């Protein structure tokens, strides 16, 4: 997978929804560790749908990626931004911040980036931008978890 440039997409919400209390965390962690050791890029997605993953929150997906698959907070954020964009064929146009690129991002009320996946479903979005323009001012939140993690393009890629 690494040699082919494939991005493996983990769907931790689906794992939890389908397996419930039967989730074998050790198996999930072994799979993620095998991908990591093989150099496979890992993305995290919500797989939002009414049947197997009734959740739109990337924050919840990243948090479960940490808890079920053993991702570090930094890995979960990378998996939910740049690697998720790459999985969608948007590498170089989305997934990271860069000067001169249209910005879709969320400013979080957090003391550290580690709080984003650590706080499960604690929507602390402070400001939301779409195309570089604020769409939700400070103190105004949409539906809980509706905000994704910043996805923007990287200049020159």
- Say whether 111 sits in a helix, a strand or coil: coil
| pLDDT tens string 124-142 | 788 888 888 888 765 555 4
| pLDDT tens string 48-93 | 998 888 888 888 999 999 999 999 999 999 999 999 999 999 887 8
| Residue located via tokens 């994704």 | 148
Dihedral through CA 127, CA 87, CA 102, CA 109, nearest 10? 20
b/e map of 22-32 (b: 16 or more CB within 10 Å)? ebeeeebeeeb
The DSSP call for residue 36 is H
pTM: 0.80
């Amino acid at each position: 997978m690494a040699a082919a440039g494939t991005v493996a997409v983990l769907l931790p919400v689906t794992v939890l929804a389908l397996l419930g209390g039967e989730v074998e965390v050790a198996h999930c962690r072994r799979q993620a560790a095998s991908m990591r050791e093989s150099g496979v890029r890992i993305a995290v997605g919500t797989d939002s749908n009414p049947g197997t993953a009734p959740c739109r929150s990337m924050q919840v997906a990243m948090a479960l990626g940490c808890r079920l698959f053993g991702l570090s907070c930094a890995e979960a954020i990378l998996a939910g931004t740049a690697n998720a964009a790459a999985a969608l064929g948007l590498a170089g146009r989305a997934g990271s911040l860069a000067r001169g690129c249209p910005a879709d991002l969320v400013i979080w009320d957090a003391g550290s980036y580690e709080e984003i996946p650590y706080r499960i479903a604690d929507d602390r979005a402070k400001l939301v931008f779409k195309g570089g323009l604020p769409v939700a001012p400070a103190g105004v939140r949409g539906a809980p978890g509706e905000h994704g993690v910043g996805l923007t393009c990287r200049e020159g890629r």
